[in-house]
């Protein structure tokens, strides 16, 4: 049989999903506070993400079902099925709600950088936009445009990474596991911002829609390894540029404008604008994707229709969206909310049935 050409597939969206405001913030804080000491935690997170996403993608290809449908068909005994469904539903809703709070806070952080003199509860605007887009089912075109902006920001980080000529010996020394004082929560946050349970459901469903034969498994694996690997490289570039800009200099990081300092070697005075646009795009795209993924996961397990007209499907994404709004309006600074969301997700990844 003639081998088909390899082309980038669904894993590209998975990688774009975890290069969100949580990753930018967490990796910036990791580099600023600990230099290269937590590179090992990032590498561990990326490898774990790669393995889990490959298993999910393989499952979607071989069974031609989403992860929710596989769980539905695998467990037959009513008590066990109910227990598994409850655990997965709780894991998805709690994890996604925390993550959603970070997504909304990230978009707020971006808008505050772009419009520093405007005093407004941006979270309401962001959630309102996400609600309209999800309700109308017009998220695909918007998401592609926003992901394009996120990718441009990622290219800016990688280019700055090359320009600043990182200390390679310090970077490789960071591959040795160590827990610097005060670093344990940042380690958990690095895991939480990279290994995202809802991406497992998205990946399996997307793979079954793109590929349909077992002999396409090598393509699925290449797609996963390359895409997640590039996402990991972007995360490493953020840690490196933050270490070069902030580590050992006792500089407080409280806003997107503060974080944008690491991009000044490339963008100069445009750094804050680029960071603001990137964080807003990453935040709003993830704020749309996370509730939608939760709805797909629950609908798949419950055998509900996954079209935009089903009230139960709409209710599922609405719960996650408004729980995220509640967290973003808690009164804490956006950076604090983002870091909390990644830590909470990291803890939940360890406790969840995934």
Domain boundaries, the chain: 12-351
Quote the tokens at residue 195: 């290994």
Backbone torsions φ then ψ of 247, nearest 5 degrees: -60, 130
Residue with tokens 């995360």: 235
Q: What is the pLDDT of residue 196?
A: 83
Q: Is residue 35 within 8 Å of residue 174, measured between CB atoms?
A: yes
DSSP characters over 115-175: -TT----HHHHHHHHHHHHHHHT-HHHHHHHHHHHHHHHHHHHHHHHHHT---HHHHHHTT
- Rounded Cα distance between 278 and 111, Å, is 10
In sequence order, the 6+-apart residues with CB closer than 8 A to the CB of 92 are: 197, 198, 201, 293, 294, 297, 298
**For the segment 256-306, what is each residue's pLDDT rounded down to a tens digit?**
888 888 888 888 888 888 888 888 888 888 888 888 878 877 877 777 876
Q: What is the pLDDT of residue 2?
A: 45
pLDDT in tens, the chain (354 residues): 444 454 557 887 778 777 788 888 999 999 999 999 999 999 999 999 999 999 999 999 999 887 877 877 777 777 877 787 777 777 777 778 888 998 999 999 999 989 888 888 899 999 998 898 888 876 666 666 667 777 777 888 888 888 888 888 999 999 999 899 989 999 999 998 898 887 888 888 888 888 889 888 999 999 999 989 988 999 999 999 999 889 888 778 888 888 888 888 888 888 888 888 888 888 888 888 888 878 877 877 777 876 667 888 889 899 999 999 998 988 888 888 888 888 887 877 766 555
pTM value is 0.85
Sequence-ordered alpha helix ranges (H) in 65-121 = 67-74, 78-114
Q: Can you tell me the distance from the alpha carbon of 192 to that of 163, in angstroms, rounded to the nearest whole number?
A: 29
Give the Cα separation of 251 and 32 in Å (integer).
8
Q: Strands, E, within the chain: which ranges?
A: none
pLDDT at 34: 94
CA dihedral 8, 9, 14, 20 (to 10 degrees): 50
Q: Are 198 and 290 in contact (CB under 8 A)?
A: yes
110 neighbors 277 (Cβ within 8 angstroms): yes
Residue in the block written with tokens 């806070």: 105
User: In this structure, which CATH number among 1.20.120.530, 1.10.150.20, 3.40.50.2300, 1.20.1740.10 belongs to the domain 12-351?
Assistant: 1.20.1740.10
Under a CB-based contact definition with an 8 Å cutoff, are residues 334 and 108 in contact? yes
In terms of Cα–Cα distance, which of 286, 352, 269, 201 is closest to 24?
A: 286
d(CA 308, CA 139): 11
pLDDT of residue 30: 94
């Amino acid at each position: 049989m003639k081998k088909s050409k390899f082309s980038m597939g669904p894993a590209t969206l998975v990688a774009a999903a975890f290069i969100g405001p949580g990753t930018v913030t967490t990796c910036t804080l990791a580099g600023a506070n600990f230099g290269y000491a937590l590179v090992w935690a990032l590498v561990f997170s990326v490898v774990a993400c790669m393995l889990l996403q490959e298993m999910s993608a393989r499952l979607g290809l071989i069974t031609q079902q989403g992860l929710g449908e596989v769980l539905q068909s695998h467990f037959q005994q009513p008590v066990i099925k109910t227990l598994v469904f409850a655990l997965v539903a709780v894991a998805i809703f709690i994890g996604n709600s925390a993550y959603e709070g970070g997504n909304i806070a990230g978009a707020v952080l971006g808008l505050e950088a772009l419009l520093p003199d405007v005093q407004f509860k941006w979270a309401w605007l962001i959630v309102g936009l996400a609600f309209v887009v999800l309700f109308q089912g017009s998220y695909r075109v918007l998401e592609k445009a926003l992901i394009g902006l996120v990718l441009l920001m990622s290219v800016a980080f990688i280019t700055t990474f090359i320009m600043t000529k990182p200390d390679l010996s310090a970077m490789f020394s960071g591959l040795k596991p160590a827990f610097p004082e005060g670093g344990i929560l940042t380690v958990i946050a690095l895991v939480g911002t990279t290994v995202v349970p809802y991406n497992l459901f998205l990946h399996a469903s997307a793979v079954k829609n793109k590929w349909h034969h077992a002999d396409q498994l090598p393509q699925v694996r290449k797609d996963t390894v390359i895409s997640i690997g590039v996402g990991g490289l972007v995360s490493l570039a953020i840690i490196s540029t933050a270490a070069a800009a902030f580590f050992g200099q006792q500089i407080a990081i409280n806003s997107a404008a503060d974080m944008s300092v690491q991009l000044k070697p490339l963008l100069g005075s445009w750094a804050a604008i680029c960071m603001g646009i990137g964080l807003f795009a990453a935040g709003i795209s993830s704020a749309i994707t996370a509730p939608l993924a939760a709805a797909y996961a629950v609908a798949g397990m419950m055998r509900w229709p996954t079209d935009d007209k089903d009230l139960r499907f709409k209710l599922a994404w609405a719960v996650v969206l408004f729980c995220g709004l509640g967290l973003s309006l808690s009164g804490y600074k956006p950076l604090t909310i983002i870091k909390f969301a990644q830590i909470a997700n990291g803890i939940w990844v360890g406790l969840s049935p995934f």
